[in-house]
Amino acid sequence: MKKWITDIIQPTTRDATRQAKADIAQIAKKMGYQISNIFRYNDAGESDQALSSRIDGITAAIAPGDLLVYQYPSLNSARFETRFIELMHVRNVKVICLIHDVLTLRNQPDTAVFLDEIAYFNSCDVLIVHNQRMAAKLQELGVTTKMVYQQLLDYLDDNHDDSRYTISPANFQRGAVIAGNILKSDYLSQWHYQTPITVFGVSDAATTEELQANPQVNYLGSRPRWDLIQELPQTFGLAWDSNTPEFRYRDYTQYNHPHKVSMYLAHGLPVIVWRQAAVAELIVQNHLGIAIDNLDQLDHVLAALSDQQIATMLTNVSHFGQLLRDGWFTRQGLQAAEQALIFPAFKLN
């Protein structure tokens, strides 16, 4: 039996769409997986036969009895996603679906999801989901496939100097930085807190003007990944999304683990998260940052932290970041999925 994992090939972007999947593919490769590349493309007008032939070509080396980890979504059409799994099962290939996003949980109820995700997940042999909360919610919605947990997205990076991974208390600032899709964080344009914040990300013209006019905001625009990490200030990383008319970004953090949390932790930054977020328990229990109920608490909570509390966070984050940069969480998830697929009755006391 050979082990395979998909990777999604697309033009370079300044968000986590490409990077998270590429990191996972590289971690799996070190575990003995072979990579099956999927290109993002528009299949409108392509016949079902042509689509099947395309998938057969992509997966020509995958043989009956092999194991395939499919990174979902591929960001191709619903027809592509569904047909890919169908053809793997026709060829007696076992499919582990590694879930990056569940659109059913993220989209607003009146925003259409591009396919029936519950049925799709039930067509797979094993699911790797973010955490127990996501698993419980999917089970509530009708998913019956065996699920294992990844717990966090890893963040590979070994090409910066040590100062980008470890922060000394003497250099740490009691402020905040946020890096990501600014349009998911509408509160930034009206940032009225005493805590200063540095903002990286793509924005529209109106929001950019508001950010630049706010003396408490240092808006630096978007950066390529390497440059972003190089310029991150040594402060708290803020992971705080807002709901929008189309997407329940904030509500979704009750089930997912945002990639930006991993980016912050992998580079020495303790984090600030919503107390109801799925990642909050891990952050608080391991002293990797703080959890608050709302941003109105931010100024008070940061001011109340002792120097020793911050020093402890910085030490813990420095150690924890090594796990993320080494791919520890992905390895645990893949190994758990392999065990659930190959020998589900296995017990270890």
Listed by start position, the domains of the chain span 3-154+327-342, 162-326
* Res. 4: pLDDT tops 90: yes
Residues making up the chain, counted from first to last: 349
pTM of the model: 0.95
- Phi and psi (nearest 5°) for 330? -65, -45
- Phi and psi (nearest 5°) for 35? -95, 130
For the packed helices 307-326 and 259-266, what is the interaxial angle rounded to 10 degrees?
A: 110
Same fold, 3-154+327-342 and 162-326: yes
47-to-52, 79, 88, 115 alpha-carbon distances in Å: 9, 11, 19, 18
Q: Which overall architecture, per CATH, does domain 3-154+327-342 show?
A: 3-Layer(aba) Sandwich (3.40)
Question: pLDDT per residue over 264-291, tens digit each?
Answer: 999 999 999 999 999 999 999 999 999 9
Residue 148 pairs with which residues in a beta bridge?
128
Fold of 162-326: Rossmann fold (3.40.50)
Are 130 and 97 a contacting pair, CB within 8 Å? no
Question: pLDDT per residue over 295-348, tens digit each?
Answer: 999 999 999 999 999 999 999 999 999 999 999 999 999 999 999 999 988 887
- At residue 15, the pLDDT reads 60
Instruction: Count CA within 13 A, CB hemisphere, residue 344.
Output: 7
Of the candidates 67, 64, 63, which has an alpha carbon nearest to the alpha carbon of residue 4? 67
